[in-house]
């Protein structure tokens, strides 16, 4: 590196590396008052057939329906009937109860791992409600709400978590890495981001076949940095795929805040602009806004209007997983300070404000959910918990690597079986 | 019967599979209107339309991922990675997804797909148009790995791969697309038409995945090889005046160990030949298996003739490529006393 | 896929896969009259310290300085002195002459491969002029202009192309995969896209060290689809890296038009919006516009203003490489019909319009360039052409895999040397 | 002397290298303020500041690419890939760039960097937190591959790797981060403090890259292994009452073949042990080399004890992991008659 140009250099300041840092660290008192939260009902709602560019102002806005007075307001109000709202509320409560029980089960040594979605329940539950049963989801590990809302049996979920005899995945997957074709829920991968462009491929297939089913791909804020995010966006844009691409921005990726994925400079919804596809930024703690946005994108996709990127703005209220203790990197009180509130409380209050719900009904519904989860857990545990597994049917380990068991796996199976599993 | 080179044979295989099964779709970089940089997909878009045959963005990861989604839907994607050297951006999707989805879903979802890609050197392509990365796929449980060496096999194996319920990585030896190659780079190129395996039947037939071909029988030693090197090995054997048994593996996973074992037990000597770098190449696995299974029959160490443990150097193509001289020395060594 | 929702499905049209198709195919008469080309001087020029958002209207505009009347106009006019303009013109002519000679050399069997940049000469040459010698480029294979403008000896370039005794890369790389540290030109990779995030890493290093040198990363329109593009954009945005990220949109990626990379729906410059970094779209056939844009981005980066994405809008006037025949996928006359003209002609006419140049001077300068290239070629060919290579110094093949030659490579070297190279 | 576990030893190595050389920078997912999900980088950001130790976006490709650019500038990046299972999105940059840049530029640019990543099973991590992908790197010319098995070696090898002029893929056996593991998963976990190699000298020292360690001498057979499996093999040998020679390879590339050859020529029997799947695992290369070099000394086939050719199944962790029973059978087989 010879001849530096002295003329230019003389006035050049020293370059500096900027390393994003979250506003608050352990010991700080979180204060989100500087975060601008647009009011409910403020965001305009373009027609679902509008050019993508007409949505781009919404990528820096925030679609919100439920106001501080618990009323649904504005163009995005999906005007759902009280039964649908109560169904969503019940599903969200079930998700939270389920999370609590399974978290505890892990702590009790009944399984190896668990991940909650506390604070994010509205997103998966309302998305499930806005699509039809046969639309296809390519989820991450934090959309258990999809399965619950679609009526997948709780016991089946738990059997997967316990890797037990009732586990249809035959003990092969880490807990919560569900898969269920009948409920339109693609196998969860441990490798972040992979499902996002897969969703686009599925949607392309649906278009190739002249089908009417659409796909929804999910990704976390942190995982948007993976190349797969870009692949999904590119393929969706190029082929005008009938797909909804959802980024759940819960502010954290294990210990890294969303700024490490680029959120200091742009919203995740804004990525849509660069690909020329529709984009929406949505209050993820507002079940009605989530519902309305997904419904909008689904209508668009289903009428060959192409893909929509939706950012659900929310907050991961608990640890990343049972392996994580967030007090090591953020204030314990941050979740409470988060200005968008609790999604369950917000929907509940809305129903109450409508005169369609009350404390008592809520308490008894919660109790029902709780006992449904407990019952399911009892059923599941009858089929075994993780520490008891992996001893029987050792030979099954060699199946499903291929459609048929080739000779080398057959040999290995025989050896493993004769060893009796250690 | 038509006389085809490997490109024509592969093209024909696509057409037959696509006519038979509407769910077969083909995509990749430059494979649509243009028909692919090696012309393997020529005419497919014209016949089958743009929704079944189309160009893809330059994103090998995206191409594989889209194929995963399509396979999950129920289609059978046949995708092209323009050169094997460019498969790595898709490696995560192949290793973590394509290979494991059947297993991790206990068969609820399967991934029938073919990932076609030209591999190997001998075309002065330098280090990013010459690689032979097959062992990076043979290590991954859940993948089948197929490498044809003739037009006949190319067509039959590709049809078999498309019909296979499992994902197949289909490596195409690009050096012999247009004619077999005996390793004498300074001699004129022979066309396929002189080779019996260029006679390719019309219509549907398959060459079974998992079956090797004994392309030459003989008692002196067993040569295990595949792809371009089949032809180099055959020529070397003739030049040396050896009565060797040459086995074209055709499928690396699942391997036809039975044929291998039988042969080595007969000959007592074995040479493994491939173009990929030696260390942790597929040859290592072959050597390991042969000595495990045929130890008491072996009269000499199993030898390997391979590419060197360096990147493929542009100008030193023929010093890198395991050609006649290297073959000769190894043959002498394996057959000594 | 059970229960499809009949209500929703009843009116759902069949989904359709959209597959982008270029406007013209062989046999068509290309007509670009529907392409809107903004006039020279129209684009506003924000201050280099402006917020990134202030540049975003420029991502759909086109920064142009040279008007149809060959005058430099508008806020982006870099006001270069005639000597600088003449230097740029000479470099561009040298590039074109060089390309022609080397293309012919390949056709004559003197080497295995060559790639021209015909029609794109202004981009690399003006970018080189706008940066200082010690700024670092991470180029693709179509920026030979950088080396030529920076004074890298033509003979050295040719020796690399011939992989001959004078090749500092020791015959290891495909022709044109140059590398030269002293001229701030990073080793070209055969794997598309890889250099783009590497440039960001280099810029981050410069910032870590408090240096004042910046980096420029290059990528083609087609290669923007790679995950590496996204990695480069993300890291640049997150760390506010002092880097210029250039996308050369020459409309084609081998046989695939830019629509297969997403250009039907957005410009490549617009990608900047989604990452919240500055973005500019520039007439790549206008040397002054290129110069001005790169200068702008450099000033911004050097004063810790962060990264800029620049799209250079141009046209690949010849085949992709010596292995390609474009008549198989686009009309032969398309290059001529391309509305932004020839960059050499345009700069030449500007100098003529300024009264600083004339046909005669141009002819004699071209003759000089031509004979410089011929001389260099003679020199280079004295050191050998490709077909003669690869026979001597076989042992060198085993060096530089590692700093030292480990035992296994030493063994292989001995074997290779004793074989004498086949 | 301090008693360290492997995490502490690696942490210490970082500090020593960073204090000695201002050009060493450390980044990766969650490695900054938080100190890494396995705590290996704990306290580094506090001591060295945010411009030398920082969190990275979740983009393994970007992390490696940024390291390439930094190394080109003249820095020495030490990057963490959170789990080896997540290295694949960075595979293209590693294979095509990190490994080849010195070669393709004839040494004009070099890529001194360390890519650290925890690997291996035994922690109920399922198929994406348990992989042992080392052979996917040993096949790539230009990379060095290092795997420590004790705190002492971990520190000395990591310092050596950081000081090395070549790129080093540094696999960390996460099962033994906190204590050695004899394969008896049902027995209580032992801490490192009981193990002599947990005595880690203060300050700077290196363990040379390319040198294996004979961790147990004996005439009965030679066991070649590395990482977690060193401890399982040692325990198995003791349990079996065998007087075996156990070699901890420590570096897979470049391999210390001299030590291996010497030992196998002495014992005449050899067992190769690793956790990775068998087919095309690094064991294949070891078997191939041993039979090539020691053929006439071998009294029995070289055997392999490895993971199965399946993804790592969550609940069947201990049926997958090559534990005491599988070791026992193989030891019997190799030492028979
Ligand atoms: C390819 C890959 N890299 C790294 C990881 C490790 N990892 C698991 S979850 C996670 C954080 C993801 O954050 P985000 O995408 O925001 O999702 P969230 O957990 O917040 O729902 C990381 C780094 C992984 N699973 N896969
Ligand atoms: C990873 C990878 N995939 C595919 C290729 C093959 N390839 C070489 S150049 C090219 C087209 C690139 O087009 P673009 O990025 O627009 O650059 P241009 O050639 O127009 O300058 C392709 C597909 C490659 N070199 N690397
Ligand atoms: Mg998150
Ligand atoms: Mg292009």
Distance from CA of D294 to the nearest CA of B (A): 9
pLDDT for res A7: 52
Find which of A25, A169, A174 to mutate to test the D interface (most D CBs within 10 Å of its CB). Answer: A174
- What does the pLDDT average to over A343-356? 98
pLDDT for res C314: 98
Are the beta carbons of C422 and B319 separated by less than 8 Å? Answer: yes
- What does the pLDDT average to over A140-147? 98
Among chain A residues, the shortest Cα distance to D324 is held by A422
Would you call A64 helix, strand, or coil by DSSP?
coil
Question: What mean pLDDT value characterizes chain A?
Answer: 96
> Per mean pLDDT, which range of B121-130, B311-320, C413-422, D313-322 is the poorest?
C413-422
Determine the angle formed by the axes of helices C407-419 and B324-335, rounding to 10 degrees.
110
Tokens of C179: 């590398």
Active site residue D297: no
pLDDT for res C354: 98
| Alpha helices by DSSP H, B118-193 | 135-138, 151-163
Is D96 at the interface with chain B, CB within 8 A?
Answer: yes
Distance from CA of B146 to the nearest CA of A (A): 15
Ligand 2 neighbours (beta carbon < 6 A): B 29, 58, 82, 86, 89; C 140, 142, 190-192, 220-223, 248, 250, 252-254, 316, 320
Chain B residues within an 8 Å CB radius of D99: 311
Please state, in angstroms and rounded to a whole number, the distance separating the CA atoms of residues B39 and A206. Answer: 28
Atom of ligand 2 nearest to the CA of B29: 23
Tokens of D135: 């052979």
For the segment B265-296, what is each residue's pLDDT rounded down to a tens digit? 999 999 999 999 999 999 999 999 999 999 99
- Tokens 């006439």 correspond to what residue? D296
For the segment B154-201, what is each residue's pLDDT rounded down to a tens digit? 999 999 999 999 999 999 999 999 999 999 999 988 999 999 999 999
Number of H helices, E strands in chain A: 13, 7
Among chain B residues, the shortest Cα distance to C329 is held by B34
- What does the pLDDT average to over A2-21? 74
Among chain A residues, the shortest Cα distance to D306 is held by A412
Query: Is the pLDDT assigned to residue D204 strictly greater than 50?
Result: yes
pLDDT for res D288: 98
- Which of A133, A229, D309 shows the shortest CA–CA distance to C8? A133
Atom of ligand 2 nearest to the CA of C249: 16
pLDDT for res A421: 67
Using CB atoms within 10 Å of the CB of residue C325, give its burial: 0 to 12 exposed, 13 to 18 middle, 19+ buried. exposed
Query: Residue D336's Cα: distance from chain center in Å?
Result: 31
Query: Is the pLDDT assigned to residue A59 strictly greater than 70?
Result: yes
What are the residues whose beta carbons fall under 8 Å from the beta carbon of D231, sequence distance 6 or more?
D149, D176, D180, D181, D182, D183
Query: Is the pLDDT assigned to residue D194 strictly greater than 60?
Result: yes
Confidence band for B1, pLDDT divided at 50, 70 and 90: confident
Among protein residues, the one whose CA lies closest to atom 17 of ligand 1: A220
Strand duo D213-216 + D245-248: pairing: antiparallel
Ligand 1 close to Cβ of residue A253 (< 6 A): yes
Instruction: Report CA(A190)–ligand 1 centroid distance (Å).
Output: 9
Whether the Cβ atoms of residue C102 and residue C148 lie closer than 8 Å to each other:
no
Query: Is the pLDDT assigned to residue A398 strictly greater than 80?
Result: yes
Proximal ligand: closest to the CA of A120: 1
Chain A residues within an 8 Å CB radius of C13: 212, 302-304
Length reported for chain D: 337
Please state, in angstroms and rounded to a whole number, the distance separating the CA atoms of residues A66 and A342. Answer: 12
* b/e sequence B192-201, b meaning 16+ C-beta within 10 Å: beebebbebe
Confidence band for C12, pLDDT divided at 50, 70 and 90: confident
- Tokens 């010195």 correspond to what residue? D102
Are the beta carbons of D57 and A323 separated by less than 8 Å? Answer: no
- What does the pLDDT average to over D12-17? 98
Instruction: Report CA(A224)–ligand 3 centroid distance (Å).
Output: 9
Chain D 113-132, residues with CB within 8 Å of chain B CB atoms: 127-128
- What does the pLDDT average to over C149-158? 98
- What does the pLDDT average to over D25-54? 98
What are the residues whose beta carbons fall under 8 Å from the beta carbon of A177, sequence distance 6 or more?
A141, A160, A169, A187, A188, A189, A190, B104, D126
* b/e sequence A84-114, b meaning 16+ C-beta within 10 Å: ebbebbbbbbbbbbbbebbbebbeeebbbbb
Would you call C217 helix, strand, or coil by DSSP?
strand
For the segment C298-314, what is each residue's pLDDT rounded down to a tens digit? 999 999 999 999 999 99
Confidence band for A1, pLDDT divided at 50, 70 and 90: very low
Atom of ligand 2 nearest to the CA of C248: 21
Query: Is the pLDDT assigned to residue A10 strictly greater than 70?
Result: no
Find which of D235, D316, D317 to mutate to test the A interface (most A CBs within 10 Å of its CB). Answer: D316
For the segment D139-183, what is each residue's pLDDT rounded down to a tens digit? 999 999 999 999 999 999 999 999 999 999 999 999 999 999 999
Please state, in angstroms and rounded to a whole number, the distance separating the CA atoms of residues D27 and D65. Answer: 12
pLDDT for res A2: 37
pLDDT for res C386: 97
Whether the pTM exceeds 0.95: the reply is yes
Whether the Cβ atoms of residue C65 and residue C73 lie closer than 8 Å to each other:
yes
A-B Cβ pairs (cutoff 8 Å, strict) = 144
- What does the pLDDT average to over C44-69? 97
How far apart are the two ends of chain D, measured CA to CA in Å?
A: 46
């Amino acid at each position: 590196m010879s001849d530096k140009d002295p003329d230019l250099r003389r006035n050049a300041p020293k370059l500096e590396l900027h390393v994003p840092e979250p506003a608050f660290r352990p010991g700080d008192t979180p204060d989100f008052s500087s975060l601008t939260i647009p009011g409910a009902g403020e965001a305009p709602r373009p027609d679902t057939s509008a050019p993508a560019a007409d949505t781009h102002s919404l990528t820096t806005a925030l679609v919100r329906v439920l106001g501080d007075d618990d009323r649904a307001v504005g163009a995005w109000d999906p005007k759902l009937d009280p039964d649908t709202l109560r169904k969503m509320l019940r599903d969200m409560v079930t998700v939270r109860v389920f999370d609590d029980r399974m978290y505890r089960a892990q702590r009790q040594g009944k399984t190896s791992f668990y991940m909650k979605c506390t604070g994010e329940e509205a997103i998966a539950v309302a998305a499930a409600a806005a699509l039809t049963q046969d639309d296809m989801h390519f989820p991450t590990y934090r959309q258990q709400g999809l399965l619950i809302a679609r009526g997948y049996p709780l016991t089946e979920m738990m059997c997967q978590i316990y890797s037990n005899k009732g586990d249809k995945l035959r003990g092969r997957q880490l807990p919560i890495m569900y898969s269920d074709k009948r409920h339109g829920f693609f196998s969860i991968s441990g490798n972040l981001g992979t499902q996002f462009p897969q969703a686009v491929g599925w949607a392309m297939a649906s278009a190739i076949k002249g089908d009417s089913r659409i796909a929804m791909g999910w990704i976390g804020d942190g995982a948007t940095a993976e190349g797969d995010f870009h692949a999904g966006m590119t393929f969706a844009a190029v082929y005008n795929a009938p797909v909804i691409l959802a980024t759940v921005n819960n502010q954290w990726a294990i210990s890294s805040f969303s700024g490490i994925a680029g959120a200091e400079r742009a919203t995740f919804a804004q990525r849509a602009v660069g690909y020329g596809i529709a984009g929406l930024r949505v209050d993820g703690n507002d079940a009605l806004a989530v519902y309305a946005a997904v419904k909008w994108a689904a209508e668009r996709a289903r009428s060959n209007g192409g893909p929509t990127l939706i950012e659900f703005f929310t907050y991961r209220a608990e640890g990343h997983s049972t392996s994580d203790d967030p007090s090591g990197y953020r204030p314990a009180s941050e979740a409470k300070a988060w200005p968008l509130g609790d999604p369950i409380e917000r929907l509940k209050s809305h129903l109450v404000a409508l005169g369609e719900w009350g404390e008592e009904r809520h308490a008894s519904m919660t109790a029902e959910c709780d006992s449904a989860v407990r019952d399911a857990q009892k059923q599941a545990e009858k089929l075994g918990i993780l520490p008891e597994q992996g001893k029987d049917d050792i030979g099954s380990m060699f199946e499903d690597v291929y459609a048929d068991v080739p000779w080398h796996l057959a040999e290995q199976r025989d050896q493993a079986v004769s060893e009796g599993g250690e | 019967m038509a006389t085809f080179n490997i490109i024509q044979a592969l093209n024909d295989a696509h057409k037959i599979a696509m006519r038979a099964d509407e769910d077969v779709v083909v995509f990749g970089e430059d494979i649509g209107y243009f028909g692919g940089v090696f012309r393997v997909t020529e005419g497919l878009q014209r016949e089958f339309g743009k929704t079944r045959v189309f160009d893809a963005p330059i994103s090998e990861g995206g191409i594989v991922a889209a194929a995963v989604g399509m396979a999950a839907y129920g289609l059978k994607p046949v995708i092209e990675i323009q050169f094997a050297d460019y498969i790595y951006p898709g490696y995560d999707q192949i290793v973590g997804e394509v290979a494991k989805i059947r297993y991790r879903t206990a068969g609820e979802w399967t991934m029938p797909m073919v990932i076609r890609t030209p591999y190997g050197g001998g075309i002065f392509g330098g280090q990013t148009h010459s690689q032979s990365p097959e062992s990076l796929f043979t290590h991954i449980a859940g993948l089948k790995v197929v490498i044809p060496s003739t037009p006949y096999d190319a067509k039959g194996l590709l049809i078999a791969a498309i019909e296979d319920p499992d994902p197949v990585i289909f490596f195409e030896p690009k050096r012999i697309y247009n004619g077999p190659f005996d390793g004498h780079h300074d001699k004129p190129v022979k066309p396929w038409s002189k080779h019996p395996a260029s006679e390719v039947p019309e219509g549907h037939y398959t060459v079974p995945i998992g079956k090797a071909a004994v392309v030459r029988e003989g008692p002196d030693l067993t040569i295990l090889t595949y792809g371009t090197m089949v032809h180099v090995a055959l020529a070397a054997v003739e030049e040396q005046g050896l009565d060797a048994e040459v086995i074209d593996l055709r499928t690396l996973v699942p391997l036809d160990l039975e044929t291998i074992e039988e042969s080595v037990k007969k000959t007592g000597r074995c040479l493994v030949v491939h173009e990929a770098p030696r260390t942790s190449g597929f040859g290592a696995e072959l050597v390991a298996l042969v000595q495990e299974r045929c130890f008491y029959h072996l009269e000499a160490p199993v030898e390997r003739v391979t590419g060197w443990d360096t990147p493929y150097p542009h100008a030193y193509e023929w010093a890198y490529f395991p050609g006649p001289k290297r073959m000769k020395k190894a043959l002498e060594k394996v057959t000594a006393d």
